[in-house]
Amino acid sequence: MSNGNRQIPYGAFNFQVSIPELDPQDHVTGGFSDVSGLGTEFTVAEYRTGNAKGNHVRKVAGLFKVSDVTLKRGLINTKKMWEWIEAVRTTGSLARKDVVITLQDEAGEPAASWTLRGAIPLKWTGPTLAAKAHGDVAMEEIVLSIESLELN
């Protein structure tokens, strides 16, 4: 990972998505072209004590939640993602997997990494097929529901 001395922001175009349980050999799962939705937010509970001198509330950090993450890629000749979707249909939460997204620097070295813990496919969208769309890539999209997000 980075040593913290870099002053120039990293480009958002050089990254890898890996789901080790789906791809035990090389861990890199297909060539995803887009990853969006990495985020977390906290709820706040407002609280005021009865003997507070000021007429205002205190804000206390409550639960946090993480956003759904969307992955997009060109359709390739593998059924590993679909098999994961089928596993969720038949086993539910037992099909949870960890997903690792690694941003790379210009030399291909890891610069930052996020681990999506307890991910399950929430939605899959197949390609739009049109005879007039000459040269377009058939894209698939998968939305993941995750339990927690870690910056490694």
Query: Is 139 inside a domain boundary?
Result: yes
In 10 A of CB 13, how many CB atoms?
A: 8
Query: Domain of 87: which CATH number?
Result: 2.30.110.20
Model confidence at 91: pLDDT above 90: yes
Model confidence at 67: pLDDT above 70: yes
pTM for the full predicted model: 0.85
Alpha-carbon distance of 98 to 131, in angstroms, equals 37
| Enclosing domain of residue 84 | 15-38+67-151
User: What's the chain's average pLDDT?
Assistant: 89
Secondary structure (DSSP) of 34-101: EEE---EEEEEEEE--TT-SSS--EEEEEEEEE--EEEEEE--S--HHHHHHHHHHHHGGGG-EEEEE
Query: Is 72 inside a domain boundary?
Result: yes
Give the single-character DSSP code of 125.
Answer: E
Model confidence at 46: pLDDT above 70: yes
Mean pLDDT of 39-53: 91
Query: Is 145 inside a domain boundary?
Result: yes
* Residue 6 pLDDT level (bands cut at 50, 70, 90): confident
Q: What is the pLDDT of residues 92-103, one digit of tens each?
A: 999 999 999 999
**Count of domains in the chain?**
1
Query: Is 58 inside a domain boundary?
Result: no
Give the single-character DSSP code of 127.
Answer: -
Query: Is 46 inside a domain boundary?
Result: no
Query: Is 114 inside a domain boundary?
Result: yes
Query: Is 101 inside a domain boundary?
Result: yes
Mean pLDDT of 103-118: 94
